[in-house]
Chain A
Amino acid sequence: MSKSNWARSVQKVLMAGAMTAAMGSSAFAAEAVKMGCVLPLSGGSAAVGNQTKVGVEIAAKQINDAGGIKSLDGAMLEVVFADSQSKPDVGVTETERVIARENVSVLCGAFNSAVTFPATEVAERMKTPWVVVGSVKDEITERDFKYIFRINNKATYDAREQIDAMDMLKDEFGSGPKTLAMLYEGSDWGRSHAANVKVIAAERGYEIVVDEAAPPNQTDFGNQLLKIRAAKPDAVIVALYTPDHLLFTRQMMEQRLDLPFGVHSVGGGMEDPAFYKALPPEAAFYAFVQEDWQIDILKVSTDPAILSADEATKAALGYGMSAYTAQGISAVYVIADALERAKSADREALRAALAETDIQSGPALVTGYNRIKFDEQGQNTFAHGVISQNIGGERKTMWPKENRAADSTPVWPVPAWSDR
């Protein structure tokens, strides 16, 4: 190679390098927007946390594949996951770490109300917006906080919907429960739900005859079941996470405990797809579940983002979308919407944009809501769930009546074990 040739090729290489650098700088001009996501990835609620995580990942990927946040020159969404281990103290330290060390613009999480409640306090203090995922404890959006937003129901809504469904069925069939038993897990979620049920049940003329809280990870529900048998309630309202809900449901079947108007679960275990894989299907027949999203949405939705998210969930988890996956998806789309309008990853700008949220279409509504709009406390007042009944292993929406499919008929009262 002659000297001039050599010089020329060096020149070429340098130019190519410079061009690559220039291209690179344009493609990466927009710095990725970091969002934190605190979830119970291990511990008692790990099954749920991992489903939400999959939803968050799917939504972030969909948004990034579609060109990222357009108003920020196509900035990519980068999700930083933090594991709360289903424990409040760990959730709080992880929140501090993600805000201070990872420098995220916005947070979401953390399913367990007991974790979300103190963790959102940290976020409020450190002026970082937090989109609540899954937690329903009322007080989370009753503290006059400025940085906390909740897309889903609060506990009062859940409790009211359960009693609404009983009232509706009573009107429809002419009979219904008068006495209720309550069995719930003893931390924030279960206790606040029970307190709400008590208030609403008293207003509507129901009598609570058993009121039992149980600490998580029980090894036996025989004692509580016996107490329910002795008190002879017409129906039982259950708020338990997956392992305890499984044990309760299995023992209820073993002991052939008959309740004329059945089991009314507020979700938790009975919304977890893992629940139905770990139980003979007939154990959950006729159970009513307060669902955090419209479970039959996939039959009515035509949104390609929602349908492809269901496929992606199946690929990741082996089963389709659950309420938890859907809530993860919804949270990311709400955050992306706020980022588009804020045109900035700045926490203050993002908070202002979140407060202005008014979504009436698109994949953010995957949970079956008609609208997402926050009140001054950060609560989405358009949130609602549905009440389903398990008919032959399929959970069919029964309440609200207008969401009920033509082929869904409630079974009311519920047949005794001996007649099944």
Chain B
Amino acid sequence: MDAFILSYAVVNGLLQGAIYGGVALGLSLIFGVLRVVNFAHGSFLMLSLYISFWCWSLFGMDPYLSALINIPAMFALGYMVQSVIIAPLIKRESAMVVEPLSALLLTAGVFLVMDNAALMAFGPDVRALQAGYYVPTIVVGGIPISGQRLIAALAAFAVAGGISYWLRHSDMGRAIRATAQNRDAAAMSGINVSSVYAMTFGLGCSVLGLFGALIAPFLPISPAIGLAFGIKSFIVVVLGGLGSISGAIVGGIVIGVFEAVASQFVTATSASIGSLVLFILILIFRPQGIMGRA
């Protein structure tokens, strides 16, 4: 194994890991505030990929420009799913539990409905978006870096930074953090908890809207695509620390770089298994995740 291939592997891992992290951001945010594990996370991503695809194929809209439609559309969808489907459950169980486990089952139902509805509506064919221009591949020290992947990876850092800043410095952000810390105390201080929940869910989904637009240019889209990302997102978020924004990015990069480097020594399949062993090991020693608070 020479140094060139190794550094190439690290670059690959960083790019892919940051994209995993960016996709997982919404999942972490929603869990951190609502304590709801959104099993339908991957399905929301699948939907946003289709939104970008249809914007391009029906209206000839640039995939990156389609973020302008994708983000608000996904926000609205997330807001609606929370306030119509999940809110009644939280309301009913609020007296009994802090972490509504049954919400996991509910979102699992949402996942099944969305994936199968997509299969019915869009058909099983694999689709792919082809931008009319070519985003150049940058070559750094002999290592080609796909421009499209680089944009998505950089966006992951930017969005994570942006959300952290916004959570700390805006009124809404403070309300969200207060709700995350103690729902009842927040409600008593005059925060409209159900609106904060719906906002947070919408925000989490709108991040997916952005990433749908950013990864649609290089990823073949099919109704089953959500599951692959959904499962990766869970691993990434739990590894990084459930509810931690920076943890999602760190977790993504740890998984991405580990898989990229390990798969140079063993088959990529064994590397994926290895990444799960790493996942278990980290959780044994840091049950709260790398960046999570105990």
Contact with A along B228-262 (1 / 0, CB 8 A): 11001000000000000000000000000001100
Note all chain A residues with C-beta closer than 8 A to B148. Answer: 254
Contact with B along A172-204 (1 / 0, CB 8 A): 000000000000001000000000000000000
Tell me whether A223 and B264 are in contact in the complex, defined as CB-CB below 8 angstroms, given that A217-B227, A256-B144 are known contacts. yes
Are A215 and B269 in contact, with the CB atoms below 8 A? yes
- On B, residues with C-beta under 8 Å from A are 1-2, 5, 8-9, 12-13, 15-16, 119, 123-128, 130, 137, 144, 146, 148, 218-220, 222, 224-225, 227-229, 232, 259-260, 263-264, 267-269, 271-272
Note all chain B residues with C-beta closer than 8 A to A279. Answer: 128, 130
Task: Pick the residue among A224, A226, A227, A250 that contacts B218 (CB under 8 A).
Answer: A250
Q: Does A17 contact B (CB under 8 A)?
A: no
Note all chain A residues with C-beta closer than 8 A to B220. Answer: 242-243, 246-247, 250, 278
Total A-B pairs, Cβ < 8 A: 108
Are B144 and A213 in contact, with the CB atoms below 8 A? no
Chain B: minimal CB distance from A81 (Å): 14
Are A213 and B271 in contact, with the CB atoms below 8 A? no
Interface centre among B219, B220, B264 (most CB of A within 10 A): B220
Are A219 and B228 in contact, with the CB atoms below 8 A? yes
Contact with B along A28-66 (1 / 0, CB 8 A): 000000000000011110110110000000000000000
Chain B residue with Cβ nearest A224: B268
Are A43 and B130 in contact, with the CB atoms below 8 A? no
Are B5 and A226 in contact, with the CB atoms below 8 A? yes
Are B126 and A274 in contact, with the CB atoms below 8 A? yes
Are B264 and A222 in contact, with the CB atoms below 8 A? no
Tell me whether A186 and B5 are in contact in the complex, defined as CB-CB below 8 angstroms, given that A222-B12, A223-B260, A255-B144 are known contacts. no
For the complex, give the distance between the alpha carbons of A134 and B16 in Å: 35
For the complex, give the distance between the alpha carbons of A229 and B130 in Å: 26
Task: Pick the residue among A50, A226, A247 that contacts B8 (CB under 8 A).
Answer: A226
Task: Pick the residue among A42, A215, A217, A220 that contacts B16 (CB under 8 A).
Answer: A220
For the complex, give the distance between the alpha carbons of A230 and B294 in Å: 42
For the complex, give the distance between the alpha carbons of A355 and B126 in Å: 38
For the complex, give the distance between the alpha carbons of A46 and B115 in Å: 14
Note all chain B residues with C-beta closer than 8 A to A42. Answer: 119, 124
For the complex, give the distance between the alpha carbons of A250 and B221 in Å: 13
Chain A residue with Cβ nearest B272: A215
For the complex, give the distance between the alpha carbons of A20 and B227 in Å: 57
Task: Pick the residue among A47, A212, A254 that contacts B126 (CB under 8 A).
Answer: A47
A-B contact pairs, 28 of them (CB 8 A): A42-B119, A43-B124, A46-B124, A46-B125, A47-B124, A47-B126, A211-B267, A212-B269, A213-B269, A214-B269, A217-B228, A219-B229, A219-B232, A220-B12, A223-B12, A223-B260, A224-B263, A226-B8, A226-B9, A227-B264, A230-B1, A246-B126, A250-B218, A254-B144, A255-B137, A255-B144, A274-B126, A278-B126
Chain B residue with Cβ nearest A45: B124
For the complex, give the distance between the alpha carbons of A219 and B1 in Å: 25
- On A, residues with C-beta under 8 Å from B are 41-44, 46-47, 49-50, 186, 211-215, 217-220, 222-224, 226-227, 229-230, 242-243, 246-247, 250-251, 254-256, 274-275, 278-280
Interface centre among A43, A213, A222, A278 (most CB of B within 10 A): A222
Are B125 and A47 in contact, with the CB atoms below 8 A? yes
Note all chain A residues with C-beta closer than 8 A to B9. Answer: 223, 226
Note all chain B residues with C-beta closer than 8 A to A247. Answer: 219-220
Are B126 and A280 in contact, with the CB atoms below 8 A? no
Chain B: minimal CB distance from A49 (Å): 8
Are A41 and B263 in contact, with the CB atoms below 8 A? no
Chain A residue with Cβ nearest B134: A280
Chain B: minimal CB distance from A235 (Å): 20
Note all chain A residues with C-beta closer than 8 A to B228. Answer: 217-219
